[in-house]
Structure 1
């Protein structure tokens, strides 16, 4: 494989499992040194780090709870202390709280509010902390969701709102950081085979009905999403900024 990211340092938030872990491995395959953050699962995070090191790159796991906005600056500082720089920030960490309608008397406001704190304010805090220190010509990539653009289901208003907010924010900072040749984009997957999606599967339509909504009648693979991120992070993605790229099998077209 061509090492198009050799010499680059990447931070992936929420990199201990699911899409985050696959992105970490894929970026390492392309030659990048990789730091991942994790909230609680130190054992899983260290297992990812060992896989990355086996690929011949430098790797580091950093405990950082994105719900705590004060953790953002120490996270970025830890990456730079270890690697000397930061070229690519992948804002991946997030949670999915779904299944209640907005008029449901049983809606747990505390859980839903925490979703906004983690998905939106946590990502913003990380971006603000990284932006002054990100290398010129660098990349910021947010992992959004197709639900931030199209909402074919009930009970996902808050989750969809968090992802839509990130899209608007990304476009704004693409303007701010463009003079430094830093690109800012959002990758919007549809349904993927992750633990987080399994946790909300009870709120989806029956599987066959859900797949019928897709022109390409299957879920995205984690590798497909990860390779899209690699393209945006790499040398051929330098003139794409302020965009959302859907990896969702055409649902909603």
Structure 2
């Protein structure tokens, strides 16, 4: 989001929790922050519809439910699917209704859509694999209008949810060729490229940025 704003784009973003952080980011970048529950289908559709014609849609909302699948709350799994799968689908379709020809839809997935080396993350991996099929299908649907649909698949990235010095660091780095977490700005660079003119012939594809976690 900072990358788009720095390049002069008119940006609006949604958030669910952390209103103080959202307001601070809005003040820093000049972007419009809009509270939206990504688990609420109608709220997602309305937010995209009310945003008017979008040149670029980036869908990055996602949650994880971790632990033994035999012990997990079915309601929690259903909520995960609403946020990780249903919301990207409905947001993408609604955006495409008004998106100009040549627009861009970019979904933030995960390398775990390709590889899941840990127990207890089946629902998360399933949801990220679903984005791959979604992108391939919508690329066909929207291709006649020049609208591209792609998935960016990060590996371990230094965020609040997965800090570079967190307890899983050594285990994750053990799978990787580059023994470090990625930086958010590295992912932003890939997203910005997909949104730009050089990527006009790239669609229905997965773009993995993971330090070879999944190699």
Identify the TM-score tier after normalising by the shorter chain.
over 0.9
Task: Report if aligned partners of 2:107, 2:151 keep a CA contact under 8 Å in 1.
Answer: yes
| Counterpart pick for 1:149 among 94, 101, 114 | 114
Q: How many residues align?
A: 213
> Does residue 129 of structure 2 align to residue 170 of structure 1?
no
> Does residue 5 of structure 2 align to residue 43 of structure 1?
no
> Does residue 4 of structure 2 align to residue 31 of structure 1?
no
Give structure 1 stretches of 5+ with no counterpart.
1-23, 54-58
TM-score when scaled to structure 2? Answer: 0.94
> Does residue 179 of structure 2 align to residue 222 of structure 1?
no
How many angstroms does 1:49 deviate by?
A: 1.4
| Counterpart pick for 1:74 among 31, 46, 50 | 46
| Counterpart pick for 1:94 among 62, 69, 75 | 62
Measured on the aligned residues, the alpha-carbon RMSD in Å equals 1.5
CA distance in 1: counterparts of 2:125 and 2:157, whole angstroms: 16
What is residue 10 of structure 1 aligned with on the other side?
A: none
CA distance in 2: counterparts of 1:234 and 1:133, whole angstroms: 19
CA distance in 2: counterparts of 1:155 and 1:32, whole angstroms: 39
What is residue 84 of structure 2 aligned with on the other side?
A: 119
Relative to structure 1, the CA distance from residue 78 to residue 45 in structure 2 (aligned partners, 3 Å threshold; closer, same or farther) is farther
The one-character-per-residue Cα deviations of 1:123-180 (angstroms, maximum 9, x if unpaired) are: 1121121111111100000000000011111111100000000110111000000111
